[in-house]
């Protein structure tokens, strides 16, 4: 059951790092997965880092859903989500290979996961605790 406490953004963090450090100057991340002309004449280009950002949006939805479910390990989940966010921040500032807009946006999504998780938990706790007024 402890594996469900691991934030999904941590998996995405490790995948992004594996791809960023695999090639020279993010060449793997910039590799095009799809390139197709549109009727307008523009060319739609979908790169690896775009796919990772799409995965991040889906993971953010799943994480917010997971934080809305009651469970005993919510403190552990929130703590690991904060650790993941700190890892995103530190590596963005320190490592040249991840100094890209896509990594920044994924870090922003991780921060929204932390904020939403705490907000949902506090709101649920307020609902569960009833304080008598008289």
The DSSP H or E segment spanning 45 is strand 43-47
* Distance between CA atoms of residues 102 and 109, nearest Å: 11
pTM of the model: 0.84
Angle (CA) 17 3 6, round 5°: 45
pLDDT at residue 125 is higher than 70? no
C-alpha neighbours within 13 Å on the C-beta side of residue 88: 29
In this prediction, residue 123 has a pLDDT band, given cuts at 50, 70 and 90, of confident
pLDDT of 73 reads 64
Question: Which whole-number Å values give the CA distances from 86 to 2, 23, 91, 110, in the listed order?
Answer: 21, 24, 8, 9
């Amino acid at each position: 059951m402890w594996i469900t406490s691991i934030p999904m953004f941590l998996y995405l963090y490790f995948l992004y790092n594996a791809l960023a450090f695999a090639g020279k100057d993010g060449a793997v991340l910039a590799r095009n997965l799809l390139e197709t002309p549109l009727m307008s004449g523009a060319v739609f280009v979908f790169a690896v880092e775009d796919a990772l950002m799409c995965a991040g949006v889906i993971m953010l939805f799943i994480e917010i859903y997971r934080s809305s479910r009651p469970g005993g390990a919510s403190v552990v989940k929130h703590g690991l989500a904060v650790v993941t966010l700190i890892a995103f921040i530190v590596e963005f500032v320190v490592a040249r290979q991840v100094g890209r807009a896509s990594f920044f946006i994924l870090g922003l999504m991780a921060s929204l996961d932390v904020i939403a998780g705490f907000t949902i938990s506090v709101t649920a706790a307020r609902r569960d605790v009833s304080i008598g007024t008289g």
